[in-house]
Structure 1
Amino acid sequence: MRYVSTRAASADASEPFSDILLEGLAPDGGLYLPVTYPRVDAQTLTRWRAVLAEQGYAALAAEVIGLYIDDIGHDDLLELCRRAYTAEKFGDPQIVPVTRIGDEPLWLGHLSNGPTAAFKDMAMQLLGEFFEYELRRRSSWLTIVGATSGDTGSSAEYAMRGRDGLSVVMLTPAGRMTPFQQAQMFGLQDPNIINVAVDGVFDTCQDLVKALNADAEFKHRWHVGAVNSINWARLVAQVVYYFACWLRVTTSADEQISFAVPTGNFGNVCAGHIARSMGLPIKRLIVATNENDVLDEFFHTGRYRVRGAVETVATSSPSMDISKASNFERFIADLFGRDGATVRRLFDQLARTGEFDISGTAQFTAVIQQYGFVSGHSSHADRLATIKRLWTTDQILIDPHTADGVHVAEQFAGDEQIVVLETALPVKFADTIKEATGELPPVPPRFAHIGEGPRRVIEMGDDLGALKKLVADTVGTLRA
């Protein structure tokens, strides 16, 4: 299996998995995709149903991800998956249990039982194993520079802390995370973890990370890699739980279900798009946004219009307070048949004008008819009402992002089963839970003292030069 940039003119200059794992962003500014998506048939799905039931989630992960990797042996890959997905880390031997919401045809895919109580752990725990494995194989080191709106950063840091050859510089939007999220990240004292609070919004942080990656000389000198979902390895790890949820809800190899996915950066639902492209019987991919409804606007109109920092609203589902969905480029590349020149033109236009419009094109018609996308958005009032109703009627407590997913899913509920992908445990958003239910959410024992102890964080403006100096100074010291 080889990989090519979304902006490449052809697949001739493709690369193997182990190389793009460490690169993150492609040199031309695009994102890596496999040259083709492997297809699975009914026989394979039937076999995987037995694998999941008899051998567990880690074995299924090795089967699915193994289709995308030919430079790591199956035995090694299986061992990496087994180390990443343990009952001890995820609190349940199923790793991703699925439960029904009351009597509705709605289900919750529980993705948030990992070390940081967020679905990002599903990919990050494996990514940490991948990085350490490959760096040891090459006798090399890596500097992770990432951006987070709340959950990616803590998941990455808990997966990378203390690992040989790895340093993490994580950018966060100052004052825009919940107290729990801040405590989770800034409380880490590991010398290889560097937290940076940037004066701006998540998109400010993400733009700084992309600009740093665009400097080829600096990236090479400091071995800069990525853990954001611009890194293909993280995305392919997320594909696995779509198969796991489907296998747990269905009984036959041709049964279709839909998924409702809360998303801001388009990584979570992009993994669903990939699973569907592989042949998983997904009827619809229901995109759920909050008040920052850039993606919802696109799926209704064909116009993709990013917002600036002033227009990006601070909401009670803060991990989705994103107006520039970095993974969206992967879907556009598929939508336009991997025409790299068109993808480059559209995203160059986006960089110049802040928008592009494909309404009226055959490609936009295919968004729903061929690729199964629909969308909706949610408000603070919607979140509160959904959280309160599920708690009152079903004794199910969900976080505000998952509430966005449930609210939008119910707008599309019909005959098919819909799995809403949970994004985090309620404890991470205690203030909103209390506003909705009148009670604080339960605190898992492992987080009982999360707010105690010293914090390590560096404040910084929207300054690429300052970021480069920080990376050189801190990582240089660690590597000395």
Structure 2
Amino acid sequence: MRYLSTRGDPGRKRFCEILLEGLAPDGGLYLPDHYPQVDAATLARWRQVFNGGGSGGYAGLAFEILSLYIDDIPATDLRALCEKTYTEAVYGTPQIVPLKKLENGFYLEALSNGPTLAFKDMAMQLLGNLFEYELGRRGEALNILGATSGDTGSAAEYAMRGKQGVSVFMLSPHGRMSPFQQAQMFSLMDENIHNIAIEGVFDDCQDIVKNVSNDLAFKHAYRIGTVNSINWARLLAQVVYYFAGYFQATEPSTGSGRSERVDFTVPSGNFGNVCAGHVARQMGLPIHQLVVATNENDVLDEFFRTGVYRVRASADTHETSSPSMDISKASNFERFVFDLLGRDGARVKALFGETLTRTGRFDLSADPAFAAAAGRYGFRSGKSTHADRLTTIRDVHARHGVVIDTHTADGVKVAREHQDTAVPMIVLETALPIKFAETIVEALGRQPDRPSKFNGIEQLPKRVKVMPADTAAVQAFIAEHCAPRA
């Protein structure tokens, strides 16, 4: 398997090269040169692996899928990394991502059982182990630069804390995350963890990460890598739970040769989580609809409704009660547009480079390819507001006795608008409600349950550096605090 850039760079690289690299040299994102195809027989075998326990289970399924994309890590080592990552001890359940049935044909897939109570743990725990493995094999160090709107930061920091040869520099929008999210990150005192609160919004943080990654001289001099979903390895790890959800919501094939279909609804701001679903569908997982659920920052919903991708300015990025989706530039969206436009790297480079820089938007509504977004690729979308979140949280609690977080509420609300009663609908749960306690109290009049290990976390000492939205200032901080070369 080789990997190519969405912007047409002619280089073809292997997995471990792009694992440590992040963005491609031309500013594009990496994708595999093809999607391995999964037939009904393979699906049946993987179902047995997932249900088998022992050397199977979720870790075994992860190995089966990852091994299709990773051929420069020995199979025995890759299997060991999967088994080290996906354990009942870490996730609290042997299924790792169990389904919660709300009603016939409507499920939540629990992705928030990891160390930081958010779906980002599902990929970040593996990424931490992959980084440590590859850096150890090379005898090198890596400085990880990331941006977070809420959950990526804590998931990355908990996955990387104490890892040999790794330092983390995590940018977050100053004052825009929930108190619990801030406490999870800023209370970490590990010497290899550095929190930087940027005076701006998430997109300012994301822009700095891309600016640094595009400064090739600095990137190489200071060994800069990424953990945001622009890193293909993280997105690849997320593909696994789409297959796991499918196996739990459907029955084995009866021998007709036609597998049962499912729908997924995914709360999404940066298009990373749902892009993993796109990859799973391209591999052959029988997904009927991929429903993108946004909050008031509806750049993705607008595109799937109209064909217009319109970036919002920082001043027009709403601060909402589902803050991890307060994003107006969906960095992973470029991967889907690359596929949508027949993998035309030159055109993608023009759209996401010159056109967006000059006009802040592009319009594919008249392009014949746009119809394929819903037709060939199965995408639908919808939007949720604060009032919708409150109503949905109250409804799910009253009818099912389940408390959901604000982002999952966005997903449930939009999923109900697109539900086909003949097809199971799976909503990807994104976080535990305690991370957004203020809105849960507003909706239900009580505090959500809190895991005992997080009691009093908001009162712990905090270590964070507040900085302006200035790339050069962040680079200077990295240079001063970076991990030494091995």
Length-normalised TM-score, structure 1: 0.98
User: Match of 1:305?
Assistant: 310
SS in 2 for 1:8: coil
User: Match of 2:423?
Assistant: 416
Amino acid at match of 2:37: R
RMSD: 1.0
Query: Counterparts of 1:394-473 in structure 2 under 5 Å?
Result: 394-414=400-420, 415-473=422-480
Task: Give the deviation of 1:47 after TM superposition.
Answer: 0.2
User: Match of 1:148?
Assistant: 148
CA distance in 2, matches of 1:453, 1:304: 42
User: Match of 1:75?
Assistant: 76
- The 1:91/1:141 distance shift into structure 2, 3 A limit, reads same
User: Match of 1:41?
Assistant: 39
Query: Counterparts of 1:214-229 in structure 2 under 5 Å?
Result: 214-229=214-229
Q: Establish whether residue 356 from structure 1 lines up as the match of residue 354 from structure 2.
A: no
Q: Establish whether residue 276 from structure 1 lines up as the match of residue 281 from structure 2.
A: yes
Amino acid at match of 1:450: I
Query: In 2, are the aligned partners of 1:170 and 1:194 still within 8 Å (CA)?
Result: yes
Structure 2 portions without partners, runs of 5+: 254-258
CA distance in 1, matches of 2:222, 2:104: 52
Amino acid at match of 2:425: I
Amino acid at match of 1:350: L
Task: Give the deviation of 1:453 after TM superposition.
Answer: 2.3
CA distance in 1, matches of 2:164, 2:459: 27
Could you report, residue by residue, the CA deviation over 1:86-136 in whole angstroms, capped at 9, with x for unpaired residues? Answer: 1111111110001211x3421000000100000000000000000000000
User: Match of 1:19?
Assistant: 17
Query: In 1, are the aligned partners of 2:183 and 2:460 still within 8 Å (CA)?
Result: no
CA distance in 1, matches of 2:351, 2:314: 22
Amino acid at match of 1:311: D
CA distance in 1, matches of 2:203, 2:26: 20
SS in 2 for 1:451: helix
CA distance in 2, matches of 1:192, 1:479: 14
Structure 1 portions without partners, runs of 5+: none
Amino acid at match of 2:442: E
Query: Counterparts of 1:381-400 in structure 2 under 5 Å?
Result: 381-400=387-406
Amino acid at match of 2:419: A
- Greater displacement, 332-341 / 228-237: 332-341
CA distance in 2, matches of 1:104, 1:388: 20
User: Match of 1:95?
Assistant: 96
User: Match of 2:256?
Assistant: none
CA distance in 2, matches of 1:188, 1:401: 25
Number of matched pairs: 476
SS in 1 for 2:369: helix
SS in 2 for 1:20: helix
Query: In 2, are the aligned partners of 1:6 and 1:343 still within 8 Å (CA)?
Result: yes
Query: In 2, are the aligned partners of 1:2 and 1:17 still within 8 Å (CA)?
Result: yes
Could you report, residue by residue, the CA deviation over 1:179-219 in whole angstroms, capped at 9, with x for unpaired residues? Answer: 00000000000000000000000000000000001110100
CA distance in 1, matches of 2:464, 2:21: 26
Task: Give the deviation of 1:447 after TM superposition.
Answer: 1.2
Query: In 2, are the aligned partners of 1:9 and 1:339 still within 8 Å (CA)?
Result: no
Structure 1: 4+ residue segments shifted above 2 A = none
Query: In 1, are the aligned partners of 2:203 and 2:327 still within 8 Å (CA)?
Result: yes
SS in 2 for 1:424: coil
SS in 2 for 1:362: coil
CA distance in 2, matches of 1:457, 1:352: 35
Query: Counterparts of 1:359-370 in structure 2 under 5 Å?
Result: 359-370=365-376
Query: Counterparts of 1:59-138 in structure 2 under 5 Å?
Result: 59-101=60-102, 103-138=103-138
CA distance in 2, matches of 1:454, 1:436: 30
Task: Give the deviation of 1:252 after TM superposition.
Answer: 3.1
Task: Give the deviation of 1:449 after TM superposition.
Answer: 3.0
Length-normalised TM-score, structure 2: 0.97
